[in-house]
Amino acid sequence: MTGNENDKETDRRDGELNNGELNNHDERNNSDDDKDLRARFMALRMEEETQTPEFTLSSMRRQLPARRLATVFARFGVVAVSLAAILVTVLWLKSGTPRRQPSQVASVIAWRSPTDFLLETPGQGLLQTVPAIGEWHDYSKVAEPGAMHSKVKK
Amino acid sequence: MKQTDFQGELGRLHPASFGWALWCCDHRREEAEEVLQTAYLKVLDGAASFDGKSSLRTWFFGVIRHTAREQRRRRWVRDELLGRWLAMQPNPPSTPTPETSASASETGRALLQSVAKLPRRQREVLHLVFYQDLTVEEASRVLTISLGTARTHFERGKRRLRDILSQTEDKHDRQ
């Protein structure tokens, strides 16, 4: 919970408490205790009112088009700066990506797994060759398919 | 409300509005003038429009308060972030400086210094009720808080302000 939310929560709780407690409270609070404070504030008000600057709404009206223009320029500026920041970030990210060297690509293609030999099954050479008719082939060198399981009891 | 009536009302409210702007800006006169001018420009520009749901004074005080808050935020960004980043200098004191209103009398200055020790909410409620002579309910509308909350701040603010004032006076008497 943020500090602001905490404040609001406290305000809410205080509000619930005091709506009941202080319903008969005098809104202007003219009790004797408050008169002293009110008098102090009023004296200060009198002093401060003498320093009030002139009310010049008509001169402000003249500033209005300039203010609108300034607002438009400010918005345009914010959008332009944001776009520039995005563009710079994209360019920077692109320039930071390393390019592949042709030699590296070739080495990746030529790579072989160190356990590749495990995929080579017995008799693979026999299966990959086509026997020619009339040509003798020594099949006895090739292990029989059931030889490995001969010791397995049924 | 006609435009001329509206402007006339704003003109009548002007001294009170300036007083409120001063308090919203912790008695920094130049800043208060700027805030008030921005608030008037918002009204003229149509950025803030009066819908008649509350009194003109309550509504315009709300505009001033909102504008002062915006300005404070902007100043904070400028001073705290950019200032520290560029110059790496210690931040200027953000506490209210009642001394800036040089022409305030001794009692006025004592009150300002005592009020400056209160939390902002309490300061605002006390100002609106005692200085601007609003009811607590109207003050709650200006500050956009519930009536109960405003009453709490009002009571606590009064109690604390009295304590601070009496302590200050005791010190003064001893000297």
Residue in the block written with tokens 């315009």: B60
CB B154 within 8 A of CB A64: no
Residues of A in contact with B136 (CB under 8 A): 25, 27, 29
How far apart CA B148 and CA A98 sit, in angstroms, is 64
CB B36 within 8 A of CB B18: yes
Chosen for mutation from A6, A31, A52 (greatest number of chain B CBs closer than 10 Å) is A52
Residue-wise pLDDT for A90-102, tens only, equals 988 888 766 666 6
What ipTM, to 2 d.p.?
Answer: 0.76
Among the partner residues A15, A37, A52, nearest to B18 by beta-carbon distance: A52
Among the partner residues A25, A47, A67, nearest to B45 by beta-carbon distance: A67
Q: Which residues, other chains included, contact B39 with Cβ-Cβ below 8 Å and sequence gap of 6+? A: B17, B21, B48, B60, B63, B64, B67
- Minimum distance, in Å, between the CA of residue B104 and any CA atom of chain A: 7
DSSP state, B90? P
Number of CB atoms found within 10 A of residue B133's CB:
14
Residues of B in contact with A62 (CB under 8 A): none
Residue in the block written with tokens 């609003």: B134
pLDDT in single tens digits along all 175 residues of chain B: 666 777 788 888 899 999 999 888 888 888 888 898 888 888 887 777 787 778 888 999 999 999 999 988 888 887 777 777 777 655 554 444 554 444 567 778 888 888 889 999 999 999 999 999 899 999 999 999 999 999 999 999 999 999 998 888 777 777 6
Number of CB atoms found within 10 A of residue A41's CB:
21
- Answer yes or no: pTM beyond 0.80: no
Chosen for mutation from B29, B35, B118, B151 (greatest number of chain A CBs closer than 10 Å) is B151
How far apart CA B50 and CA B27 sit, in angstroms, is 27
- Minimum distance, in Å, between the CA of residue A9 and any CA atom of chain B: 11
Residues of B in contact with A34 (CB under 8 A): 130, 158
How far apart CA B145 and CA B110 sit, in angstroms, is 29
- Give me the total of CB pairs closer than 8 Å, taking one residue from chain A and one from chain B: 112
